[in-house]
Structure formats: C-alpha cells, structure tokens
A and B are shown apart, each in its own frame.
Chain A
Amino acid sequence: MRGTILIVDDSAMMRKIVLRALTLAGLDFQKVLEAGDGSEALEILKTNAVELVMCDINMPVMSGLEMLKAMKEQNVGAGVPVVMVTTESSVEHVREAVAVGASGYIRKPFTPDQVKQKVLALLDAA
C-alpha cells in the first residue's frame, strides 16, 4: 500500500478515471486527495505529505503548468513527483512541462498499463 496521492483535474469524472486506472494497475494508495485546479492543489500540498501528484494541464483558475511553476517559486512539494495527465501531448508541450518540473507525462486516452508503467518507474526512482 502506497502513501497519499493527489489527483488534480477540473473534471471529477477524470479524477475517478485516473484513480480507477491506478487501482486496476494494482497501485493502491492509503489516502486519495483531489483538487479541481492548480490553486487548490497548491494549498493541499502545503499541508499534506503527498507521495505522488497526477495533474491535468488545461484547467480553469490555475493550469497544471502554472501549478508546477508556483510549486517551484513557493518551494511547495519539493521532491514530490508530478505526472501530467493530459491531451496536450505534443513534443513542445512535454518539453515545457518537464522544464517547469514535471516528472512524467501520460497522454489521454490512456490504459491502466500505461499508468502503471509510468507511476511505478517514478515511485521506484524516488
């Protein structure tokens, strides 16, 4: 059993789908936290020990990339792997996300196996 995961997406449905994919992949977390945008996620990261963040890019209020920049600037969630889960999968988008601190990238649509491979690689490396 893993620790705490934070799933960030403005779609409650997508948050459920990500969690379901993790569960189907055999990745169980003790605690699941959810945020509807980057700003909410930032507040959660300030007060919770999180092992992994799965984050959308296109969100209202604060996007996933803005959240990554804010994490750096405010020194929040240092060392916590952040996996972007998004339809924005061009090479340029991936480079931009990695440049501002993303640890990994999963393109929507995804299979549970793809989620498992990416997440296990990150958690094992952490």
Chain B
Amino acid sequence: MSTVLSGVNAGPAAHEFFTPENLLLMDETVHEVYSTMLNLEVVANGEINGDELMRHEQTAIVGFAGALSGICEISMSAQASIAITSGMMGGMEVEMGPEVCDAMGELCNMLSGGWKNRVPGLGAACSLSVPTVIEGAAYSVRRPPHTRINRRSYNFGDGFLLLLTLLYDPT
C-alpha cells in the first residue's frame, strides 16, 4: 500500500504552525489524552532524528486539511494497542480485533485534534479526516521530497512505545 500526499490544500503560512514550540505541544496533548482517557502514565522521549523506519504492526493516520496539509500518524506494537484499548475500556480485558483498530483510530483522532487546537490559530483553520487504521508493517509510503516531518516517541504502560509522526507539505 502506498500513499501520496498532494499538498493541494497547503496554505502559504503552513510553516508558521510547524515551529519547535508548537511541536512540543504534542507532548502536552499526549499526556492529557493518556491520563484522561486511558489512565496510563506516559513519558515523552522527545524528538527522534534520522530516517530509520518508524513503524510497528498497528498504525493509525488522521489527515489535516486547510491551513495545514499533512498527517498525524501513530504506530505501536500489537500488544501496546491492546493495552490502549483496555485503557479506553476502563481496564477491561481485550483481545486483538476490530475494537483495537477502532481504539487506535480514536487515539490518533484525539491526539491530532488536541494538538491542532493547542496551536494558536490552527484550531478552526484546519480540518481533520476520519482516521485510517493500517494493520501490519509491510507497506511503503511515498511523500514529496520537501515534506517536513517531526517524529516523536513516548513510553507508556508496561514498557510500550508510541511512535508519533507529524508531517506537512509546505508547497
């Protein structure tokens, strides 16, 4: 599977939203969502540099359109996604299935929405797509070469890792 971002909706001031200060607001968002909806401690590990493959078995993507054209992508292991789902269900025992995909989509939705609403001037100027969830890691994503990417990682629960990518097309 491959995804190509067109950048058609990118606004001229998109770069103003992708500042280091605004990107840090994602840590605040992750903390709020994890503590409020999942009852899980989360630790921000900061930005990840390099081009290493940032993907686990469960991936969810929400698109930004309007003032910022891009995506918010989260990725985690199957076990981590089960822990997320269980957290959302108040600690209920959960098995891998449609509920887990649903929970991944909702988590990505809350993180992308929470972040854009924290960024000054972006909340109403940017729309969110409904989430897309991908199971498995054997796919490639092609993006325009000038795309700007910010990758962050977080630890939660029993040593689980959340990988988060914010990306926008400045053209």
Interface SS, B side: helix
Binding site for B on A (CB under 8 A): 10-14, 16-17, 20, 24, 58-60, 86-93, 108-111
A88 CA to B113 CA, complexed, in Å: 6
Cross-chain contact A87 with B117 (CB below 8 angstroms): yes
Q: Which residues of B contact A111 (CB under 8 A)?
A: 36
Q: List 24 A-B contacts (CB under 8 A).
A: A11-B102, A12-B102, A13-B85, A13-B88, A13-B103, A13-B106, A17-B106, A24-B90, A58-B109, A59-B130, A86-B113, A87-B112, A87-B114, A87-B117, A87-B128, A88-B113, A88-B117, A89-B113, A90-B117, A90-B123, A92-B124, A108-B37, A109-B32, A109-B36
Contact with A along B103-140 (1 / 0, CB 8 A): 10110011011100100000110001110000000000
Give complex CA distance A86, B117 in Å.
Answer: 12
Q: Which residues of A contact B106 (CB under 8 A)?
A: 11, 13-14, 17
Closest to A93 in B: B124
User: Which B residues fall within an 8 A CB radius of A?
Assistant: 32-33, 36-37, 85, 88-90, 98-99, 102-103, 105-106, 109-110, 112-114, 117, 123-124, 128-130
Q: Name the A residues within 8 Å of B33 (CB-CB).
A: 109
Asked if A60 and B130 sit within 8 Å, CB to CB, the answer is yes
Name which residue of chain A comes closest to B36, CB basis: A109
Residues of A within 8 A of B98 (CB): 12
| Complex: chain A residue closest to B37, CB-CB | A109
Per the bound structure, the CA–CA distance linking A10 and B85 in Å amounts to 16
Judge whether A92 and B130 touch: CB under 8 Å.
no
Let me know if B37 and A17 touch, CB within 8 A: yes
